[in-house]
Structure 1
């Protein structure tokens, strides 16, 4: 059995007295603050307001400016510049009937590809833009991508079919990447 010595008892009593005194002093200091000095909990929705008057909100799908004027030669698949050109390269571009196929090789890093959109323009024999189409990759974390061994894939294949209403007039195509997000 443990014996409590007078010295230990005095030490415990002193610790309790100091704790009570400090609590009382801090409580009194907080209570004596004026209303404007007291901390206030703020709603972030009310505080974090940013206005950018010259910035128009995004609407629709992202486009590539050069698509309207690309006019690749008949039977060819051209490329159109976009904001991510330094982060990928195209490979195996082909016009197969009324569809363009190819692959995007991500060169920026080896992390998971979260979002990718390839935009294709379809042209007639005179080089006029008839219509556009898109192939979009979204990372689906529930699809079991974690089960794959090794580094994330750096190659994303795509196939973009021309809209049916112009499929019989497609003579060439051009592709570009308006969306590319990786970790």
Structure 2
């Protein structure tokens, strides 16, 4: 079927489905916040074609025209490289600055916790798309409307001394 992925067997979850791959893709995109995949094969031929992507994890189908689909959730190539580095003792090759730039995580522990949470969420979303129980994700709050200034009564865009009288030297001629 799919074979092994460099991140290891802990980061792969297999599923079977009887509905079409494009139907599952549409459900994941519409209700679970995934981005539609282009059915490309990031790990090579016969290792899965990507139907959906979210937060460093991909949903792949083995053969999209099959009567019973074989699907898998696995890390994308970038996340795979990071997870492989960590599990094989090469975590030190990534500086904290690189780790922060690539993942927005400050440490490997934080990255592993975040990756685990996102992996489980992707698996749950796929499982619900397959069995038809997927529901729309809640609308995120608009950050502009939801966030207010710390002190709305003040005029935040004026400097604090704006309304103070400025000292004007007396006797300065204005008609020169």
Same fold, judged at TM 0.5 (above): no
TM-score by length of 2: 0.28
TM-score, normalisation: structure 1: 0.28
Query: Which structure's residues are more often strand, by fraction?
Result: 1
Higher relative contact order (CA 8 A, sep 6+): 1
